[in-house]
Amino acid sequence: MTSTSKPYPAQWELVADLRVFRTTTQEWEKLIVWRADMRKRGWKLLRVASEGTEMVAVFGRNKAGSAP
């Protein structure tokens, strides 16, 4: 993956605030409480993919003023 590519389609940025989280597979499994807290705060897990030894997770939530 190059530094200019993103792990999500560009149009997602038009309707959602996005956060990309990168970690190892082992650490991702340990973050179950943190992931649950993200959901409580209104973030949805939109995509999880592996890139080599890394897990890449994309969280998103509607932008303020966007339709649900």
Q: What residue segments make up the domains of the chain, in order of their start?
A: 16-62
* Residue 52 in this model has a pLDDT that exceeds 90: no
pLDDT value, residue 67: 52
Task: Give the burial class of 59: count Cβ atoms within 10 A of its Cβ; 0-12 exposed, 13-18 middle, 19 or more buried.
Answer: buried
pLDDT value, residue 3: 47
Considering the chain, what percentage of its residues have pLDDT values greater than 90? 71
Between 68 and 23, where is the model more confident? 23
- Tell me the helices (H) and strands (E) count for the chain, helix number first: 3, 3
Terminal CA-to-CA distance of the chain, rounded, Å? Answer: 31
Calculate the CA dihedral of residues 55, 9, 47, 45 and round it to 10 degrees.
120
pLDDT value, residue 65: 58
Whether 48 and 55 have beta carbons less than 8 Å apart is answered as yes
pLDDT value, residue 25: 87
